[in-house]
Amino acid sequence: MGGQACVFYGAAQFSKDVDLALLASEENFSRLRAALGELNAKRIAVPEFDPALLARGHAVHFRCQGGDADGMRVDVMTRLRGLPDFEALWARRTTIREENGDTFELLSVEDLVQAKKTQREKDWPIIDALVEGNYRALGGEPTAERVAFWLAESRTSERLIGLARRFPGEARAHTSRRPLLRFALSGESEALRAELDAEARAEQAKDRAYWAPLKAEFEAFRRAEREGYRKGFTAG
């Protein structure tokens, strides 16, 4: 669901970790614990592995030790901002099978774009690369769903103006959901660029607001764990 998924879609992003969206069930948590045990993966940060905390949107972070995965970080979540539950994500996932038989289950490109709408500046060029890559690959075979995705998520004025010229009816139909498309239809590139910037800032503000209470909890967990270590050291 993170940088590694972007690599599969051709939107290369250097990533030192593997981000996993996980089905929240006790059976699946048991399977995860077993897999982490095989990797000799140790928790490296707060919070602890707790299904209730995962359900609130926290991530749990592990580091693999030894073997081929030595040093690899694994981040696990069960809830993603702005996205539906796991069952819906799984139903529309992308499955990639390699010649050696390995299978990789990825967030759909549409869901991955939503997941990348964060407060981090580095994620926004990745969104553009994901959408552009999808258009370059499938632009010759437009469907209603694909055109809707390109119009909803393209991040450059040039691409949006081109889409509006190619699909004017669809662009007009989508202006109620993405008002900046009216500037794409009229070819006003400067105004369109300004609206795209404002759109990104608004999404970044939503992400900051979502994470603010979770960040406060995270800091409380870290203080409590640090205090626990201090008391243990003093007692020893």
Region 122-137: mean pLDDT is 96
Percent of the chain with pLDDT over 70: 96
User: Quick check: 115 pLDDT over 60?
Assistant: yes
- The answer as to whether 224 is a domain residue is no
Is 42 exposed, middle or buried (CB count within 10 Å of its CB: 0-12, 13-18, 19+)?
Answer: exposed
Whether residue 179 has a cis bond before it, omega within 30° of 0: no
99 and 152 fall within a common domain: no
Mean pLDDT of the chain: 93
40 and 129 fall within a common domain: no
- The answer as to whether 164 is a domain residue is yes
User: Quick check: 223 pLDDT over 70?
Assistant: yes
End-to-end CA distance of the chain: 42
Is 94 exposed, middle or buried (CB count within 10 Å of its CB: 0-12, 13-18, 19+)?
Answer: middle
Q: What angle do CA 6, 11, 14 make, to 5 degrees?
A: 70
142 and 62 fall within a common domain: no
Q: Locate the DSSP E strands across 98-161.
A: 103-106
The domain total for the chain is 2
pLDDT, tens digit, 9 for 90 and up, residues 177-189? 999 999 999 999 9
Q: 191 lies in which domain range?
A: 123-208
Q: What angle do CA 193, 212, 231 make, to 5 degrees?
A: 145
87 and 177 fall within a common domain: no
Query: pLDDT band at 226, cuts 50/70/90?
Result: confident
What pTM value is reported for the model?
Answer: 0.91
94 and 13 fall within a common domain: yes
- The answer as to whether 236 is a domain residue is no
User: Quick check: 230 pLDDT over 70?
Assistant: no
- The answer as to whether 219 is a domain residue is no
User: Quick check: 12 pLDDT over 90?
Assistant: no
- The answer as to whether 181 is a domain residue is yes
Picking from 78, 108, 138, the residue at the C-terminal end of a domain is 108
User: Quick check: 235 pLDDT over 60?
Assistant: no
- The answer as to whether 231 is a domain residue is no
CA dihedral 34, 40, 46, 47 (to 10 degrees): 0
- The answer as to whether 114 is a domain residue is no
Strands 17-21 and 42-43: unpaired
Q: Locate the DSSP E strands across 48-180.
A: 60-63, 73-77, 94-97, 103-106
80 and 135 fall within a common domain: no
101 and 130 fall within a common domain: no
61 and 98 fall within a common domain: yes
186 and 151 fall within a common domain: yes
